[in-house]
Structure 1
Amino acid sequence: MTVDVKADLRRHALARRDLVTHVEAHEAALAVASRALALSRELARRAEDVVSVYWPIRSELNTRPLLEALADAKIATVLPVMTAVKQPLVFRAFTPGDALVKGPFGLSEPSDDKPALEPDIVFSPLAAFDRNGCRLGYGGGIYDATLAELRAKKRVVAIGIAYACQEAEAVPTEPHDQRLDFLLTEQELIAF
């Protein structure tokens, strides 16, 4: 598959995501938080399991209700910290109410004084997904590199979060692409 095919799919999926209304976005965030909390409880095999959740940017599905729900359930949570393009993320402890700082790429991240922890469950943003567990990210290869590194060390469950309108017939893949184990939308939980 060519880079152009991925770029076109990404552009169209993100354009559809941008059309989600504020009311739809709010309802979707609550629905996904509820399903994601239940799934996290089911998947967390040990009390010390750590869950990574992204801090939403642009029109991404809002994960703040999920972060609140995980904190209320006393589940250890981390946010990703971006260090470089195509390089694995670092994960730092986060509890709702913690101050976030602007990272080198302009993203809101926990400060360096928060402990770094490796997650067992990773909730990932994405541009598009298909029914085969393939995700199309934003083109930096960051989550693929991260999941590859983590999965080389231990069992890590990858869960994509998206609006149903971001579904594609087929996402083009390359050998380095990491598949999702689950996908959550405002409408359903898909297990792969």
Structure 2
Amino acid sequence: MTVDAKTELRRRTLSRRDLVSHEEAHAASIAVGERALALVRRFAPRGAETGEVVSVYWPIRSELNTRPLLEILAAEKIATALPVMTAVKRPLIFRGFTPGDDLVKGPFGLSEPAETRPSFDPDIVFSPLAAFDRRGYRLGYGGGIYDATLSQLRAKKRIVAVGVAYACQETDSVPTEPHDQKLDFLLTERELIEFS
């Protein structure tokens, strides 16, 4: 599939995502938060006791809101981190975050923890996306950042990669390239899809 075709698929699915109403978005964030907690308990059942860290993205634009999930994980005393973008096609770094912490504007205009916060290699990574298919592939925003990140983390240890999206972002087939990293799970407001 050409770059133009990827761009068009991204445009279509993000346009659908932009049509989600405020009420639907709120209900989706609660449903995803509850399903996500069950998934975290499955892979990090003792949370703080064993030191597992869960990375959750800070939502921008019309991304599915993960702030309720961050609150749920904090209430369960599960350590969380937010991703920090350093460059296009370069792996993210992850800095510790607890709801209530101040965020700063990073060099790419994103809200992120300050450089003084500790960094981690997370065990579970919740990632945003533009589109997904039932094979476990995601179409991101075109920067290759999550593919680079998942590749780097998987070279170090076993991690769980979870895409987060609205059901309306599903497509029949996401175009893939050799460097594309598959997800282990996909969470929507309707279901949890397991790929591995």
Tell me which interval the TM-score lies in, with the shorter structure as reference length. over 0.9
Q: Which residue of 2 aligns with 1:83?
A: 86
One-letter amino acid matched to 2:78:
I
Report deviation, 1:77.
0.3
- TM-score, with structure 2 as normaliser: 0.97
CA–CA separation in structure 2 for the residues paired with 1:3 and 1:157? 28
Structure 1 residue 140 and structure 2 residue 147: aligned? no
Q: Does 1:175 align with 2:178?
A: yes
SS where residue 119 of structure 2 aligns? coil
How far did 1:45 drift?
5.7
1:88, distance to aligned residue in structure 2 (A) = 0.3
Letter in 1 for 2:2: T
Per-residue deviation, 1:43: 1.1
Counterpart secondary structure, 2:126: strand
Aligned-residue Cα RMSD (Å) equals 0.7
Q: How does 1:43-192 map to 2 (within 5 A)?
A: 43-44=43-44, 47-192=50-195
Partner of 2:6: 6
* Structure 1 segments unaligned to the other structure (5+ residues): none
The alignment partner of 2:120 has SS state of: coil
Matches of 2:9 and 2:83, distance apart in 1: 25
* DSSP-derived class of the 1:165 partner: helix
Please, which runs of 5 or more residues in structure 2 have no aligned partner?
A: none
SS at match of 2:162: strand
Distance in 1, matches of 2:41 and 2:113, equals 24
Equivalent residue letter for 1:33: G
In the TM superposition, residue 68 of structure 1 has moved relative to its aligned partner by 0.2
Query: What whole-Å deviation, never above 9, does each CA across 1:57-101 have from its counterpart, x for those lacking one?
Result: 000000000000000001110000001111000000000000000
Q: How many correspondences in the alignment?
A: 192
What is the alpha-carbon distance in structure 1 between the residues aligned to residue 148 and residue 109 of structure 2? 20
Cα deviation, 1:123-177, whole Å, max 9, x if unaligned, reads 0000000000000000000000000000001001100000000000000000000
Aligned to 2:35: 35
- How has the CA–CA distance of structure 1 residues 27 and 45 changed in structure 2, closer, same or farther, with 3 Å as cutoff? closer
Shift of 1:44: 1.4
